[in-house]
A and B are shown apart, each in its own frame.
Chain A
Amino acid sequence: MVLSFFRLLFLIPKFLWNLAGIKRTIRRSRRRFKKALVKSGIPRELAEGLAEEYALPDEIISLRILAKFLKFKGT
């Protein structure tokens, strides 16, 4: 039973790691996109705005939103 409990407990860091992986991929992609825009001669401010538009906002992939969503689903 103790082993099963620890196995379940181990799911939390695994879940967080997966979430972090998704975030990392999106951020890396956003950086490359912005870099390409700036290199092509787009002003930095515009590039910033377009990069924000390109990637998923950080708030969507956060524990807070997920927790809120689960709470909302539970009601």
Chain B
Amino acid sequence: MEFDERKFEEMKKKMLEVMEKAADSESGTKKLIEETIRELTQQLKEAKSEDDLEAIEKKIEILKSMLKTYGKDEDDVQELKEVMDVLSESLPRIMDSIFGPIKELINEAYDPDKAEKFGKNVANFYKELVAAGMDPDKAFELTKEYMESMNIVKTLIDAFMKEKIGKMKDFEELKKLGKRKVSEDFEEEL
């Protein structure tokens, strides 16, 4: 019995192809591995010289290294699977726990019926100020202030966003300044 390298290379190729498709047909890979092991055992039984044994040992070594790589890939896939499972289970819950209270708060603060009542109150306030002889512009400003004091949710969100967006703008300007300075230094060096 001779070590037919070409035949073995074909077999190796076939095995690698099957391993690549492992995600789809795990049982196919297992079958092929079992078949190869059976074949090698048969060859071991039929081996007549030391050369034959050496050739078979070589085959076994290659098969071992291939199985090791396959095992590692399988572990990575398993890990990714677990991470995806955990994410897909917990992320919706996290999102619901964030959006639920926000939605409730907005629904409460911006209820259309309440908005209508509030509109009537604001209109009365403005009309009373104007009727008392106040300048319409001044009355408008005062009405705005009155609205701000009544609409706490909006005031809070506005203050929060203004602070954050202000910081963001400062940060953008800092970045631009940094870039400008670097380009100026570069020009000076030139």
Contacts and interface: CB of A to CB of B under 8 A. Distances in A.
A50 B106 CA distance: 19
A41 B127 contact: yes
A32 B111 CA distance: 10
Interface in A34-58: 34-37, 40-42, 46, 49-50, 53-56
A23 to B, nearest CB: 9
Interface in B133-172: 140, 143-144, 147-148, 151, 154, 157-158, 161, 164-165, 167-168, 171
B91 A8 contact: yes
Give the secondary structure class of A's interface: helix
B27 interface: no
A25 B181 CA distance: 46
A4 B107 contact: no
Interface residues of B, number: 46
A60 B119 contact: no
A17 B127 CA distance: 40
Contact of B92 (A1, A3, A7): A7
B167 A29 contact: no
A35 B124 CA distance: 14
A48 B158 CA distance: 19
A56 B92 contact: no
23 contacts: A1-B77, A1-B84, A4-B88, A7-B92, A14-B95, A21-B103, A22-B102, A25-B106, A29-B111, A29-B112, A29-B115, A32-B113, A33-B119, A36-B117, A40-B123, A40-B127, A42-B123, A42-B127, A49-B140, A53-B147, A54-B115, A55-B110, A65-B161
Given A18-B95, A50-B143, 5 more contacts: A4-B81, A11-B95, A21-B103, A22-B103, A28-B110
